[in-house]
Amino acid sequence: MKTPKGLEPLIDDGMIDAVVRRLKSGKEASVYVVACADQLRCAKVYKEAEQRGFHKLAQYTEGRKTRNSRDQRAMGRRGRHGRRVEEAEWKNAEVQALYRLAAVGVRVPVPYLVHEGVLLMELVRDAHGAPAPRLNEAEISAEQAREWHAFMIGQIVRMLCAGLIHGDLSDFNVLLDAHGPVIIDLPQAVDAAGNNNAFAMLERDVNNMRAAFGRSAPELLTTEYAREIWRLYEAGDLTTASVLTGRFARDETAADVDGVLDHIEEERHAAAERLRRRQEADAA
């Protein structure tokens, strides 16, 4: 096919030999199958900020470390330099997350490089070598759904143990290769420790997986993994070996309302008594 503009620099610089076809043009990026020597790879061309508009950036990038304090201040001021830094950070965030996650055994495409706003990575494929389908397109059995749901909960835990939350995990961002689920689309990955929205993002990711697999295995719909995972994480006890139940014990001991009211009443008496004594003393 004709080389899309965004991929020209990679052709010119010899990083890819040819563009085979476009896989998808989404809100945030266009994704292509490209040839590199005798291999097929995947190239993701990010759109510029004005065209993206979906992720409210600040919500995700809170707590992310920027390279130097001048850049940090510029981002705070939101001037032109700040926006450029922010843009570069966004485009680098995905490859950084991919490296970090691949290193701890999360199933993600192998990243190769980022060049001129393009991420070059492994092409995830199905058993026949074709680009892998998304989870939302797959018809799966109840048994398969239970197995993959458990696997994805394990992957979410693994990510969190590495300090990251996907932040946009859904059945659109999980591909199915010959061995099972592969997680993609990570430019918005959230730094779990430094972000005030971390739990909300984790909960949404976990519940999106519950909904996706719950379509084939409805018993999954009553599971509650997010709070259980988060409680262990916050206590510093979460490991990839943590045993999870999918049930979260809320504190259901009825609040002792009568006890509290009695206590207030006693305090009121005591205060009235103190006041009476002070008035008596003043009068004397």
Ligand X SMILES: Nc1ncnc2c1ncn2[C@@H]1O[C@H](COP(=O)(O)OP(=O)(O)OP(=O)(O)O)[C@@H](O)[C@H]1O
Instruction: Figure out which of the listed residues 30, 61, 155, 173 binds Mg ion, where binding follows CB under 5 A.
Output: 173
* DSSP code at position 220: G
Q: Does 188 bind Mg ion (CB under 5 A)?
A: no
| SS3 state at 40 | strand
Kindly state the helix (H) or strand (E) to which residue 99 belongs, with its residue range. Answer: helix 80-103
The nearest distance, CB 172 to Mg ion, in angstroms, is 5
Alpha-carbon distance of 7 to 109, in angstroms, equals 19
**Phi–psi pair at 277, nearest 5 degrees:** -65, -40
Q: Does 185 bind Mg ion (CB under 5 A)?
A: yes
Q: Which of residues 212-251 bind ligand X (CB under 6 A)?
A: none
Structure tokens at 172: 């659109």
When the beta carbons of 157 and 183 are compared against ligand X, the nearer one is 183
Binding mask 4-23 for ligand X (x = CB under 6 A): -------------------x
Q: Does 106 bind ligand X (CB under 6 A)?
A: no
Q: Are 44 and 22 in contact (CB under 8 A)?
A: no
Sign of CA dihedral 157, 159, 163, 168: negative
- Only one of the segments 153-161, 179-187, 206-214, 252-260 lies at the binding site for Mg ion (rule: CB under 5 A); that segment is 179-187
Residue 183 neighbours by CB distance under 10 Å: 22
Binding stretches for Mg ion (CB under 5 A): 173, 185
Binding stretches for ligand X (CB under 6 A): 23-24, 26-29, 31, 42, 44, 109, 121-124, 131-132, 134, 172-173, 175, 184-185
